Structure 1
Amino acid sequence: MTGARGRRVARAGALLVVLPLALGACSGDDEEDGSVFSIKPGQCFLAPSEVEAQISDLERVDCRKEHDHEAYAVVPYRAPGEEADVDGSGEFPGDEALTKFADGACAEEFGGYVGVDYLDSSLFYTYLTPSPRSWQEDDRSVICLVTSAGTKLTGSVKGTKQ
């Protein structure tokens, strides 16, 4: 979708073999498609049927149903040594800087949501980062998603210590 908000770029997290996209915690809500600009921790999603470099929507599902991804954190981008750029004043930092930030931020947030450190978990993470186009529309956050390798998730992973 090419809306005014642009698109987000899906990136694979540390130690994650190409898994298409996002996860969301068990929300109990009805199924619905969801804009990546409104994802919140605790929402679950199906992976896109086709691998895309940029996405703008994910198919949201009730976390009690089989799903591929669960959102566990939305982290505003911060350049090293700086405050989060939430007012839209900063320039696009580039894919390399966003990837480095997302790797660190998502690994850091993982344990607080799942209940076990990422390195001790049987689960993986991936993330969505802003694209240059969405950055121009004040998109400054990384969305962290938990997933598993080769199997679907059923139920929220929040606090499961998996």
Structure 2
Amino acid sequence: MLALRRIGLCLALALAIAAAGCGGGESEKSRLEEEVFVEPTAEPDLLPTEEDLRDRFEGTVTDPYDLLVGTCFNQYTYLDRNDLPAQLTTAIGCMRPHNGQVYAVFIHDAPLGAPYPGEEAVNRWGQEQCYEQFEPFVGLVYEKSELQIGMITPSRTDWEGEDNRRRISCFVHSYRGLLIIGTMEDIGL
């Protein structure tokens, strides 16, 4: 009888430890998500002008095509002098809230001088390359991740211009539209 009680006590203790271990994984993931994602500040009803943004943007203004692998960045949309929507990109330290982080850069494989293949073809080629490099960078397959793939691709003007820009930059960002804090390299989220 004493042996049965000991077995029962050991079994109950093992189940309690297992239950505590299982519950800790979800709270750890929730804690991690709270530390990684933050709500962006409310957007105004009207887009700001570039002058309005100068006091509010963080980071160093940069050409989006010049972002390097590992660089975290923000993108701001504003109204230019002609009241047309425009974008401003800033490189920022990864420990500050940011929109995305570049994780791979490719040069399109079309031969130099080849005509612009079209936005759809460039995007399709870029998506294939970015998808392949997502898991090695983030540490989790894309389909299970809290992160989304984004791309900076050349326009027809970039492609056919004197610089012949063929560069495609892959970046990660929150699929829920939240800002990211920290690097996403090997985050497994």
**Which residue does the alignment assign to 1:91?**
115
Tell me, yes or no, if structure 1 residue 124 matches structure 2 residue 148.
yes
Within 5 A, what are the aligned runs for 1:33-44?
33-44=61-72
Q: Which has the higher contact order (CA 8 A, sep 6+)?
A: 1
**Which residue does the alignment assign to 2:126?**
102
**Which residue does the alignment assign to 2:89?**
58
Superposed displacement of residue 150, structure 1: 2.7
Letter of the structure 2 residue corresponding to residue 147 of structure 1 = H
**Which residue does the alignment assign to 1:45?**
73
Give me the whole-angstrom Cα distance separating, in 2, the residues matched to 1:53 and 1:140.
24
TM-score w.r.t. length of structure 1: 0.69
Superposed displacement of residue 94, structure 1: 0.6
Q: Which has the larger radius of gyration?
A: 2
For residues 72-127 of structure 1, give each alpha carbon's deviation from its aligned partner in whole angstroms, at most 9, with x where no partner exists.
111121xxxxxx23x62211111110111122111111111111111121111111
Q: Which runs of 5+ in 1 are unaligned?
A: 1-29, 78-83
Q: Contact 2:102–2:170 at 8 Å: present in 1 too?
A: yes
Q: Which runs of 5+ in 2 are unaligned?
A: 1-57
For residues 36-72 of structure 1, give each alpha carbon's deviation from its aligned partner in whole angstroms, at most 9, with x where no partner exists.
22111111111223499875x5111111100011111
Give me the whole-angstrom Cα distance separating, in 2, the residues matched to 1:135 and 1:74.
16
For residues 5-44 of structure 1, give each alpha carbon's deviation from its aligned partner in whole angstroms, at most 9, with x where no partner exists.
xxxxxxxxxxxxxxxxxxxxxxxxx931111221111111
Tell me, yes or no, if structure 1 residue 150 matches structure 2 residue 184.
no
Percent identical pairs in the alignment equals 24
Letter of the structure 2 residue corresponding to residue 96 of structure 1 = E
Give me the whole-angstrom Cα distance separating, in 2, the residues matched to 1:110 and 1:54.
28
TM-score w.r.t. length of structure 2: 0.60
For residues 131-150 of structure 1, give each alpha carbon's deviation from its aligned partner in whole angstroms, at most 9, with x where no partner exists.
11111221112111100023
Give me the whole-angstrom Cα distance separating, in 2, the residues matched to 1:96 and 1:125.
16
Provide the aligned C-alpha RMSD in A. Answer: 2.3
Letter of the structure 1 residue corresponding to residue 69 of structure 2 = P
1:140 and 1:54, CA in 2 relative to 1: closer, same or farther beyond 3 A?
farther
Aligned length: 125
